[in-house]
Amino acid sequence: MLIQRLGPVGHVHLTSRRFSSRLLNSEPCQGLWKIKIWLVYNFIRLMIIIKTMIYRESLPENCPPIEADELNSRREVYRLVCSNPPQDDDFRSQREMKPSAVFKNISECQAMGLSVFSNRDVCHKTMKLPAFKKCQHYVCRVVLDKGAGRIQQTGQLSHHTWWPLADFDILASCNADVS
């Protein structure tokens, strides 16, 4: 998986500067220990950042776009699912479902996001379309919160594209209605 958006790591440099000034005033042996501790500390920190910023799919460069909002507070969105309770298969992107498809008029980034609606009624309306009549569909309410990834309004007013983070437990945040 690609590492996406490592986020601000500026304070690593500050820590480094503080350590450097202390090292100048310490015994050589003591300084070596401090360097080791500093390295381990920053290695663990970097691993945490990398782990928390990995998206479910290996997204292309500049994806999600800068216009997409980072999910930092609770909000509800709705997605059509084929099983109740929902399964991982209900949250597969277009690219995952159609690995060899040519998406010429949508970007690879969009094809790797998930469609969700901010309005439940639009989900019910969408179920009238033939592609959603092949199996019994349910409207799944997904509660997004900090750590859920990024989201952007795309297309019809209620339609959003969501790029979930790998660590976000979608199934635990999803409740399907019997429709």
Partner 1 sequence: MKTIHYKSALFYYDGVQIFEARDAIGGYYIAVLAETIDGLDRYILAGVEPEKLRQFKTGKFDLLSLLIDRPEEDWFIAIPIGGFDAALYLELQSNPLKNNPDLPDSGFLLHEIPADTNTVEEARSRNNLVFEISVEPPEAADEHQIHAETLAGLLLNLQTLVKHAYSAAVRDMSAASRRSNDVPDGHLLNVVVPAAPGSFRLVFEAASQSDIFGNNVMANALQRIDQFFEHVSNPKQTLDMVKQHRGHLAGAYLRMLRFLIEHKTGLRYAWAEPAFNNPKCYSVTNAQAIPLVEYLSGISNIGAETVVLQGTLEKADMGNGNWRLATEERDYSGKIKPGGPSLDGLKIGSRYKFNCLEEIEESQSGREQRALFLMEHEPA
Where on the chain is the footprint of partner 1 (CB under 8 A)? 62, 65-66, 80, 93-94, 97-106, 110, 114-115, 117, 121, 125-131, 133-134, 154-157, 159
CB of 1 to partner 1, least distance (A): 22
Residue closer to partner 1 by CB (options 58, 156) is 156
Residues 6+ apart with CB under 8 A from 127: 80, 133, 137, 139, 179
Instruction: Name the minimum Å distance from CB 155 to partner 1.
Output: 4
In the complex with partner 1, the residue whose CB is nearer, 102 or 172, is: 102
Q: Which CB atom, from 41 or from 103, has the smaller least distance to partner 1?
A: 103
Using alpha carbons, select from 104, 12, 114, 15 the residue that is nearest to residue 59: 114
Closer to partner 1 by Cβ: residue 44 or 157: 157
Give the DSSP letter string of 92-137. --HHHH-TT---SSS-HHHHTSEEEES-HHHHHHHTTSGGGSSS--
Q: Is the peptide bond before 85 cis (omega within 30 degrees of 0)?
A: yes
- Tell me the C-alpha distance between 71 and 73, whole Å: 6
The least CB distance from residue 70 to partner 1, in Å, is: 16
Q: How far is the CB of 116 from partner 1 (least distance, A)?
A: 9
